Structure formats: C-alpha cells, structure tokens
Chain A
Amino acid sequence: MGIADSEGSSIYLYISDPSRMKQMNLNIVNDLVRKNTSCIIVTTNIPSSILANLYRKEGIVMEKIHFIDAITKYSLGSAPADQENTTFTSNPGNLTELGIAITEALKKRKEEDTALIFDSISTLLIYLSSPNISKFIHFLSNKIRLLDLKGVYLSAAKGLDPLLLTQISSIVDEVVETPKE
C-alpha cells in the first residue's frame, strides 16, 4: 500500500535506487492524482519544465499539480516567465525561501486532498548539512500534520546518513524501500 491509498494525513519516506528516482516520482504523482489528490511538488534536481512534460506524457491532469522549483533559477540565473502553476526559488540551499514558497502554495490550495512531495532529500544534501535538513523536515512534517495533508519525501538509497535516516524515519508513518531492478 502506497501513500495514495492511505487514509487521512500521513507521511511516507520513499527510498529508491538512484536510477529509479524519476520513475518513482512519476508513479507516486500519477497514483495520487488518480485518487483526486492535488500535488505540490518540490523539485531540487529535475527542472519543473521537464517534470511537467513527463507528467503530461503519463496523462497526469496538470490542473492538480503545483511545482516549487528550487533548481532552475539557480542553474540558469533566471526562471521561465510563462510557466504556470510554478513557484521558482533562487537556491536549493535557501530553506527560508523554500519554506515561504511551500507555505504560500499550501495557502492557495483548494478544499481538496493535497500532498506535498519533496524530490529529493538526497539532492538537498548537496546543498545543506544533515542537521539543517533534519530541522527542515521537522518543520514541513508539522505543517503537513497541522493541515491534515499527505506528505512524501523521496530519497536515493544510501543518500542519507544513518542518523538523518533514523530521525526522518521517526517522523514519518511509513518507510517504503523500492527494490533495485
């Protein structure tokens, strides 16, 4: 049973082989949207424009999707002006800006099931230390619980140090490890 089948507010940590990260993102978003759940996707690795194209190809209803793109502006120096349903932040390491963007996106959500999907914690570790990420995950998880949402944290296998993995595992309801192909 995945996050899409869970009842009420729940938070899952999905751990996958690095080669399966993109596919895992697609599967989770597809399942959630099919269950009429809106998704706020925080991306720190694949640009939101590419993810949007991939979602469309999967037949995912894009009205249900909002992106918080923390990587495109940082890499290109500017963000595309015409991209709908997307908030661009300037730097994946700027957690204050990221936190504000998530809070704003959650405020705008309609009265329906919503899931916050964070892709991925392991990529965020390139920019931030484990203790800072741990604090941020606590902050996000409190918000998810308080607003009665669903939450998904994605991570590459062996992408988290044992202490951070223990800390996150104690916050979430389920840890799902997808087998290597």
Chain B
Amino acid sequence: MSEGKELNLSEFDILKRTFEAIEDPIFYLDTNGVILHANSASGRLLGLPPEKILGEQCFRVVHHTPTFIRGCPFVKAKVTGRREIYTVNLANHWYQVSVDPVKDESGAVIGAVHILTNIDTVKKVHELRAVLGAIIEMTPDAILGEKPDGTIISWNHGAEETFGYSADEMIGESVAKIIPPGYLDDWKGILMRVQRGERIEQLETRRIRKGGEELELSLSLSPILDERGIVTGIAVIGRNLTEIRKAERALIAYVTEAALRIKNPVEIIAHTLEEIRHLHQAGAITDEELSTTLLIQVKHAMKIVENVGDLQQSIISGLEEIPESYRRFLMDEE
C-alpha cells in the first residue's frame, strides 16, 4: 500500500470499523440495560437496523420481556464485577453470551460488553456425541477403541459385561489380554490388515473372559482415519455369540436325537409290523408268534415314548427361555 493512499484513521475509527467487521453480535449496555452501542451483526441477529436497537433496553429487543430474564448474566455481572457466561437460544441458534462488566476509576460497574458467539456447531457436536455416547453405553455389544497397536483406549459397558473386565482394568492394556493363545497369530494378521486401512466384518473368533471362560464372538473392525487418511486407531464391535452357538448346537443335537429316537425307530416298528402281517397272512407264523411280535413292537413304542420324554426333559432343563405354559405341557405337568 502506498503512503499517499493511506487513510488517516484515528484509533477510535479503527476500533469502530473493527467493531462493525466482527461477525459476532456485540452490545454495550449501561447499568440499566439500555443498549448504547451495537454492531451490524447485532442488527442481523435481531432482524432490526442498528438504529432501532440503540436506546432500547436489551431484554425488550433480545428476549421480548418487560424486565431482565431470570438468571440474567448482566444482572449477575453487576453484582460480581466479573465476566459472566451463559448459553442462550435466539432465533433457533445457540449462542454463548459473555458479559464483561465495564468499571469506572473507582471500580463501580457502569456498563457491560455483551459478546454473542454462535455455538451451533459445537452444540450439535456435543449433542451428537451425547447421543452416540448413550448408544455406545446402552448397547449390549462390546465396543472397543484401540490404538493401531491394539492398546485399548475405550471400553464400553457392553465390553465390561461381555468380558468381565471393567474399563479401568482394560484401558491402557493390550487387547491380547483377552485373546486365547491359539488365536494370537490370527489376531496379529487381522491387526496388520486393519493397520493397512482394511475393514473386517463379522469375523467369527474366540476371546477369553476375566474368569477364563472362552467366548465365541463375531467381530467387526474398522480403521479410524485422520484427515490425512492415516490410521490412528481401530474401532472394534464384538457380538457375543456364545449362547446362540450353544443353542444351535443343542438344536442340532436335539434334531439328531429326535430323528434317532423317534423317526427311525418308528420306521423300524412300522416295517416289522408290515412284515409280520405278511408272514401271518402267508401262514408262516402262528397266532402266538404274531402276538409275541406285536408285544415286542408295543414295548419298543413304549420305550420310544419314554425316550422322547427324557429328551424333552433334558432340553427343557437346559433352556430357561421356554415359557412356563409350554414347560408344563412338555413336562406332562397339570
């Protein structure tokens, strides 16, 4: 800039221009709350030209109330003589209002500067964080945050329930603490893949609880990337499948047992009866032999009924989820 074109601005002018240029609304009030100065941003906030604001009491144009609102920081600042801060929602936007008292030479408060900073983004981030935090804490799934080397940095309530370790016990520890020795090599391989930026979804594997019990889990691992795309952490979601897998195995065992103890023996009885009928019709066996064979098949059938009862009892006693009415029905209780 050439000297010849320089404006000869006073310090006051510079400050006034700065005051106007600031995008945050700024008010200066006297002790009665009358607005003595307001920048252009204040007018935009209130939807009024600045000249319509000046001379008005702040509560009338800002809050549309006949007097100071309850908990007004300006009223507080007049008493404390210190900066007071609060948040307020104006015209569907959130602002942090800082009220700085202005004092005379004797230290008496003669007015205050109000600066309103739009905190919509911060508020939204906080709200989102609160919602996500609540979801993470409420979910029964184990959700872990890890450094790229597997050191645990966060451990939710679901992880505490799943693995039996508290967050205090696990944060700062290596996740290897909950990996069975036979699965450590697999884990190292997976860690390398995630460190390279790969997502791993629904990997079925095993982990160990604090008490030493082995768990069957489905794990999903996602790399956490910074703005440069560098992996700075790993998000792990684990779903405990132990009970589901146990129930599936019980179901397979039940279906197999049911086939062996019901379908196949009944088939044998049916064919034996059919053969015996033919033999009797052909005169190959006597009435007495027919009667004996029928009795044997009755005994077989009775034993099958007994076996089915035993099978039902063993299934029912192993599954607490069966409703009481069905439990009584299956246990032949009244």
Residues of chain A touching chain B, judged by Cβ–Cβ distance below 8 Å, are 18-19, 21-22, 45-47, 49-50, 53-54, 57, 71-72, 74-76, 122-123, 125-127, 130, 156, 158-162
User: Are B296 and A125 closer than 8 Å at their CB atoms?
Assistant: no
User: Are B293 and A122 closer than 8 Å at their CB atoms?
Assistant: no
Q: Contacts of B265 on A, CB cut-off 8 Å?
A: 122-123, 125-126
* Closest A residue to B291 using CB positions: A76
CB distance from A21 to the nearest CB of B (A): 7
Q: Contacts of A57 on B, CB cut-off 8 Å?
A: 284
**Interface flag for B184 (CB, 8 Å):** no
For the complex with contacts A19-B271, A122-B265, A123-B265, 10 further pairs of A-B residues with Cβ separation under 8 Å are A18-B264, A19-B275, A45-B300, A49-B292, A53-B289, A54-B284, A75-B295, A76-B292, A76-B295, A126-B261
User: Are B284 and A125 closer than 8 Å at their CB atoms?
Assistant: no
Q: Contacts of A126 on B, CB cut-off 8 Å?
A: 261, 265, 300, 303-304, 307
CB distance from A41 to the nearest CB of B (A): 16
CB distance from B122 to the nearest CB of A (A): 63
* Closest B residue to A130 using CB positions: B260
* Bound complex: CA A178 to CA B288 (Å): 32
Q: Which of B261, B268, B292 is within 8 Å of A47, CB to CB?
A: B292
* Closest A residue to B300 using CB positions: A126
**Interface flag for B299 (CB, 8 Å):** yes
Chain A CB count within 10 A is highest, among B259, B267, B285, B307, for B267
Q: Contacts of A47 on B, CB cut-off 8 Å?
A: 289, 292-293, 296
User: Are B260 and A18 closer than 8 Å at their CB atoms?
Assistant: no
User: Are B292 and A156 closer than 8 Å at their CB atoms?
Assistant: no
**Interface flag for B256 (CB, 8 Å):** yes
User: Are B292 and A21 closer than 8 Å at their CB atoms?
Assistant: no
CB distance from B296 to the nearest CB of A (A): 4
Interface string of B288-313 (1 = CB under 8 A from A): 01001101101110011001000000
User: Are A123 and B285 closer than 8 Å at their CB atoms?
Assistant: no
* Closest A residue to B303 using CB positions: A126
- B: interface residue count bin: 20 to 34
User: Are B285 and A45 closer than 8 Å at their CB atoms?
Assistant: no
* Closest A residue to B265 using CB positions: A126
User: Are A45 and B296 closer than 8 Å at their CB atoms?
Assistant: yes
Q: Contacts of A21 on B, CB cut-off 8 Å?
A: 268, 271
Q: Contacts of A22 on B, CB cut-off 8 Å?
A: 272, 275
Q: Contacts of B296 on A, CB cut-off 8 Å?
A: 45-47, 71-72, 75
* Closest A residue to B288 using CB positions: A49
**Interface flag for B274 (CB, 8 Å):** yes
Q: Which of B256, B268, B284, B299 is within 8 Å of A74, CB to CB?
A: B299
CB distance from A94 to the nearest CB of B (A): 13
CB distance from B267 to the nearest CB of A (A): 5
* Closest B residue to A125 using CB positions: B260
Q: Which of B293, B295, B304 is within 8 Å of A46, CB to CB?
A: B293
User: Are A122 and B264 closer than 8 Å at their CB atoms?
Assistant: yes
* Bound complex: CA A53 to CA B304 (Å): 28
Q: Which of B260, B274, B289, B304 is within 8 Å of A161, CB to CB?
A: B260
Known: A45-B296, A75-B299. A125 touches B261 (CB 8 A): yes
* Bound complex: CA A145 to CA B285 (Å): 36
Q: Contacts of A161 on B, CB cut-off 8 Å?
A: 256-257, 259-260
User: Are B260 and A75 closer than 8 Å at their CB atoms?
Assistant: no
Q: Which of A156, A160, A162 is within 8 Å of B268, CB to CB?
A: A156
User: Are B274 and A19 closer than 8 Å at their CB atoms?
Assistant: yes
Q: Contacts of B256 on A, CB cut-off 8 Å?
A: 161-162
* Bound complex: CA A71 to CA B296 (Å): 7
CB distance from A99 to the nearest CB of B (A): 20
Q: Contacts of B292 on A, CB cut-off 8 Å?
A: 47, 49-50, 72, 75-76
Q: Contacts of B275 on A, CB cut-off 8 Å?
A: 19, 22
Known: A22-B275, A49-B292, A126-B304. A158 touches B264 (CB 8 A): yes
Q: Contacts of B264 on A, CB cut-off 8 Å?
A: 18, 122, 125, 156, 158-159
Q: Contacts of B300 on A, CB cut-off 8 Å?
A: 45, 123, 126
* Bound complex: CA A18 to CA B289 (Å): 21
* Bound complex: CA A50 to CA B298 (Å): 17
Closest 10 CB pairs of A and B: A18-B271, A75-B296, A75-B295, A75-B299, A126-B265, A19-B271, A159-B264, A18-B267, A18-B268, A50-B289
Q: Contacts of B307 on A, CB cut-off 8 Å?
A: 126
* Bound complex: CA A47 to CA B268 (Å): 15
CB distance from A5 to the nearest CB of B (A): 27
Q: Contacts of A49 on B, CB cut-off 8 Å?
A: 289, 292
Q: Contacts of A158 on B, CB cut-off 8 Å?
A: 259, 264
* Closest B residue to A74 using CB positions: B299
